């Protein structure tokens, strides 16, 4: 039986998966910094912008969650599933996620952030492509 509102579940889920995506980006940044890349800067810049965008969104979600008294708590993980407790309004709801589905969800968030960072600006002058006639 579902106790939390769908909107609250979506907020908590987004917060959870966004937090996981931030951890992945932090690890990737460290790997690139230590790695054997010929030119690291473009990759690092992209990942840092994505991380900044993700942190800003997560901060907004934290404000919403605080107002609605929502929380996400990790319970356990095994080879197949990860379990989290979502709480709010005096209710608790346990959610089990299939680990490959978690990976797919985090990957989707990374693609979403990448597209948002790489989305071209509307103004040609803003991205340095204005005609020099």
Q: What is the per-residue pLDDT across 46-97, written as a single tens digit (0 to 9) for each?
A: 999 999 999 999 999 999 999 999 999 999 999 999 999 999 988 889 999 9
Q: Can you point out the beta strands (E) in the chain?
A: 70-77, 81-88, 91-98
Dihedral sign from CA coordinates of 18, 21, 27, 28: negative
What's the pTM value of the predicted model, to 2 decimals?
A: 0.85
- Which comes out higher in pLDDT, residue 36 or 104? 104
């Amino acid at each position: 039986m579902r106790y939390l509102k769908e909107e609250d579940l979506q907020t908590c889920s987004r917060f959870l998966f966004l937090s996981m995506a931030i951890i992945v980006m932090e690890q990737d940044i460290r790997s690139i910094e230590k790695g054997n890349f010929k030119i690291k800067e473009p990759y690092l810049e992209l990942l840092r912008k994505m991380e900044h965008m993700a942190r800003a969104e997560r901060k907004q979600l934290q404000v919403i969650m605080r107002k609605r008294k929502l929380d996400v708590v990790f319970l356990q993980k095994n080879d197949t599933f990860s379990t989290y407790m979502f709480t709010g309004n005096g209710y608790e709801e346990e959610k089990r996620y299939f680990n490959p589905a978690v990976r797919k969800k985090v990957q989707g968030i990374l693609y979403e952030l990448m597209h948002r960072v790489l989305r071209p600006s509307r103004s040609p002058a803003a991205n340095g492509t204005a005609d020099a006639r």
